[in-house]
Amino acid sequence: MSQRNWQSGEVTSNGLRLHYTRTGGDLPPLVLSHGFTDNGLCWTPLADALQADFDVIMPDARGHGLSEAPEDGYDQMSQVNDLAGLIHGLGLKQPILLGHSMGAATTMTLTGTYPTVPRAIILEDPPDWWTAPPQPAGFNDWIPVVKSKTREQLISEQQVATPGWSLDEIEPWADSKLQLSWNALNVLKPGNLSLDWTAVFGKITCPTLLIPADPAVGAAIGPTGIAFLQALIPHIEVAPIAGAGHSVRRDQFAAYLQVVRAFLNRIVAS
């Protein structure tokens, strides 16, 4: 991965040491929240594309990347308060929030809990926890296998598995799996992802963009989940991207970037 003149730092949030990477500049803040088993630098290609127009902040969630990894606190509201504390600790004023998967769920829950914090939110294929509980067995089987491999093995195997992903996607993907704390798997414990989703999502009033994956290639949110969100967030915009699996931006980066840029440009201009 090429060298970038980005800032790296830590902030104490919700009693926890959280690590983040930041592109910097006196620009509108854009906070990117990664998915389960990823880390902040998994957003590198998107940050490269947007850093001329935004101060892109990429935190590592608890138990991920270089952030602290306590045994507990992996419930939905703890993760929300981690992110809210980071936003406050960095002095960000009404940032735009973009989240993928677990990070999208955190983004939505934060917005419903603290409606005035974000200026707008973007949701990349959030998990449909509100209509279908998560299935931890797959992760519990997959993560030990992944963590038993070297960085070189992970990169080589992922290049074969996802030939459309750039090396700037694959290298941080591999690093994030090796950095992942075993404690992070506690997010999958029963009850940690339970919430009154209807009450929380019904309080989301800021501009909202949903980018679901293609159900034919492994979307985490399906028609039922999308309809659930549309009923609670009537102003939500839905922009599906054909041919993209759960990692929408990795599978179809150009189409994803076009959709994200158009939305961001409208928000900044408003």
Report, as an integer, the average pLDDT of 242-256: 97
Could you read off the pLDDT of 149-203 as tens digits, one per residue? 999 999 999 999 999 999 999 999 999 999 999 999 998 887 888 899 999 999 9
Model pLDDT for residues 222-234, shown as the tens digit of each residue: 999 999 999 999 9
Residues in Cβ contact with 245 at an 8 Å cutoff, skipping those fewer than 6 apart: 213, 214, 217, 218, 219, 251
Task: State the Cα–Cα distance between residues 199 and 76, nearest whole angstrom.
Answer: 14
> What is the average pLDDT across 19-27?
97
- Report all structural domains of the chain as residue ranges with CATH numbers, in order of start: 7-269 (3.40.50.1820)
Range name among 97-111, 125-139, 200-214 with the lowest pLDDT average: 125-139
259: pLDDT strictly greater than 50: yes
Predicted pLDDT of residue 2: 46
Q: Could you tell me if 58 and 20 are in contact, meaning their C-beta atoms sit under 8 angstroms apart?
A: yes
pLDDT band at 132 (very low <50, low <70, confident <90, very high): confident
Cα→Cα distances 164→41, 160, 250, 253, Å: 19, 9, 8, 9
Least confident of 51-65, 131-145, 221-235: 131-145
Name the pLDDT band for 140 (thresholds 50, 70, 90).
confident
pLDDT tens-place string over residues 101-121: 999 999 999 999 999 999 999
